[in-house]
Amino acid sequence: MKQPEIKIYTGKIQQWTSDISECKNRESICGHRLLAYGLWERHRKDLPGNIQRADELYACLEGMIEKGIHGKPYFREYPQIHFNISHSGEYGACALSSVPCGLDIQEVRKIRSRRLLERVLSEEEMKIVQSHENREREFCRFWTRKESFLKLSGEGITRPMNALEEPEWFEEFLVDQHVLGCVSAYQTCKVTIQEVEYAVF
């Protein structure tokens, strides 16, 4: 049986929002523009016939997206299309698939407190992070995994992160040298990652 594909689009937030002079939510705009770009590239034939360009699709997105009980976004009228959006540092990212998926990206940052470690990591994971030569990077790996698991299930942070179980499948990836990512699903998937230069919107 053919593995489902998860296509991940990444882009620099500054590039994808360069046409907007004053804006407080550039990260969200970048993520939704990447979503529109991916939908246009992969699902054009499934969308309403009156949409002729990706920028027109972006303008319609707000009306197409619903939110689940804990806030996970989905397309009510297009249940065969699953997506997840994330952003951190200079980057936004969007995953598109025919199966439910969870995506998180995170810039490697200084660990602010031991309390954060205890809230996120199990005892075993804590030992791994504390013994690692690059503690910040290793913590970031665990963080992106767990965030992607929570986003896959749609639960958000409703359960203790230090007690999360791994889903059936996940794959880690690099957005750039300082931004790590993880995508997860309930089955093994083929992952394709594409950094996209700004498209005109």
Reported as a pLDDT band with limits 50, 70 and 90, residue 80 is very high
Exposure string for 55-68, b = 16+ CB within 10 A, e = fewer: eebbeeeeebeeee
Q: Which residues, 6+ apart, have CB-to-CB distance to 108 below 8 Å?
A: 136, 137, 140, 178, 179, 180
> Residue 192 burial by CB count (10 A; 0-12/13-18/19+): exposed, middle or buried?
exposed
Residues in the chain: 201
The answer to whether 104 touches 186, Cβ cutoff 8 Å, is no
**What CA–CA distance (Å, rounded) separates 125 from 112?**
17
User: Is 138 among the domain residues?
Assistant: yes
Q: How far apart are CA 190 and CA 6, in angstroms?
A: 6
**Per the domain annotation, does 201 fall within a domain?**
no
Q: Tell me the two tokens of residue 11.
A: 């882009």
Residue 140's domain comprises: 5-195
Find the CATH number of the domain harbouring 183. Answer: 3.90.470.20
Q: What is the pLDDT of residue 200?
A: 63
| Residue pointed to by tokens 């767990």 | 146
pLDDT in tens, 133-187: 999 999 999 999 999 999 999 887 778 899 888 888 999 999 999 999 999 999 9
Interval 28-60: pLDDT, tens:
999 999 999 999 999 988 887 778 888 888 988
Q: For the ranges 82-91, 109-118, 189-198, which has the lowest average pLDDT?
A: 109-118
Tell me the average pLDDT across 60-66: 91
Choose between 112 and 28: higher pLDDT.
28
Q: Is the pLDDT of residue 201 over 80?
A: no
Q: Which residue in 114, 149, 150, 164 sits closest to 135, CA to CA?
A: 114
Record the tokens describing residue 25, joined without a space.
């939510």
Confirm whether 113 is domain-assigned: yes
Is position 200 within any domain? no
User: pLDDT band at residue 12, thresholds of 50, 70 and 90?
Assistant: very high
pLDDT at 108 over 90: yes
Nearest to 179 by CA among 105, 116, 115, 113: 105
Count structural domains, the chain.
1
Question: Does residue 139 sit within a domain?
Answer: yes
Q: Please provide the average confidence, as pLDDT, over all residues in the chain.
A: 92
At residue 143, the pLDDT reads: 95
